[in-house]
Amino acid sequence: MKILITGGKGMLGRTLQKELCDNEIVVADIPEWDITDADAFTARTIAEAPDVVIHCAAMTKVDDCEAKRDLAFKLNEEGSRNVALACKASGARLIAISTDYVFSGEPPREPWAWSETDIPRPRTVYGASKFAGEQMMQMILPDAVILRIAWLYGAGGPSFVHTMAKLGAQEGPALRVVNDQRGNPTSTKVVADVIRFLLSRPDVSGIVHGTCEDQCTWYDLTVELFRLMGLKREVVPCTTEEFPRPAPRPRNSALKKSVLNLLGYRTPRWQDALRDFVVSPDSGL
């Protein structure tokens, strides 16, 4: 099939180009393709006539979104609306990438994982703008797929995994890593595999969670990464309060894969996906 990928030059977009290369791929990214220009984007989409649009383009730097609220909503809400309108005009199926940040991160109990039916209550500009984009796309295209992912890392980075691998290879005092935020570390390869499955299921629509199985903290992730890489730098746990950031981080944004599991599809455990990534020759670690 013919697949158009918005934000195709980004970390996830690059992986999708590689993993879905048995299809005809069209890369849509700035400056040539601008999702904030509704008329131009629709015209180019109609001209390309894709079967599917995978919408990855977004403003994803959480702290930058907090400082630049209008730009975040322009890209994440209005841009997503424009992509949905282009899909409607061209007849393309839409698979759009969203985030765990649509949830408050304050679960009622531990351990907890948010399901597709839980009500989003974002606490950040990033989360609010992405949730607004979800709503726009579903209003325009009720049969769109909204694929929420989290704690992403992939070939070439940038990502938390790449940053910690670099720090772990350096000499210095013990690294302090947050140990009271929980989520599902997920590789772009796992997301690409989920999308490949969704491409084979045109009957699927609505919200789908597509992260790895099991949950951990940033400290747990770092310890496992260093073990896999044979890095000896010491790592010690710390609290969120010791690393204040402009945008509040979710204490628990782990996602439950209820839809995928119902369809008979299971993502790998985060430990297994991380191991596969570390030994991959194109990881960039």
Catalytic residues, by residue number, are 126
Instruction: Say how many C-beta atoms besides its own lie within 10 A of residue 234's C-beta.
Output: 11
Task: Mark residue 28 as left, alpha or beta (left: phi above 0; alpha: psi -120 to 50; beta: remaining).
Answer: beta
| Distances, alpha carbon 127 to alpha carbons 31, 207, 211, 243, in Å | 25, 15, 17, 20
Residue 46 corresponds to which tokens in the numbers above? 């109609």
* Bridge partners, 216 (sequence order): 183
| Distances, alpha carbon 145 to alpha carbons 33, 68, 160, 182, 236, in Å | 22, 28, 27, 25, 40
Of 91, 66, 80, 28, give the one whose Cα is nearest residue 249: 66
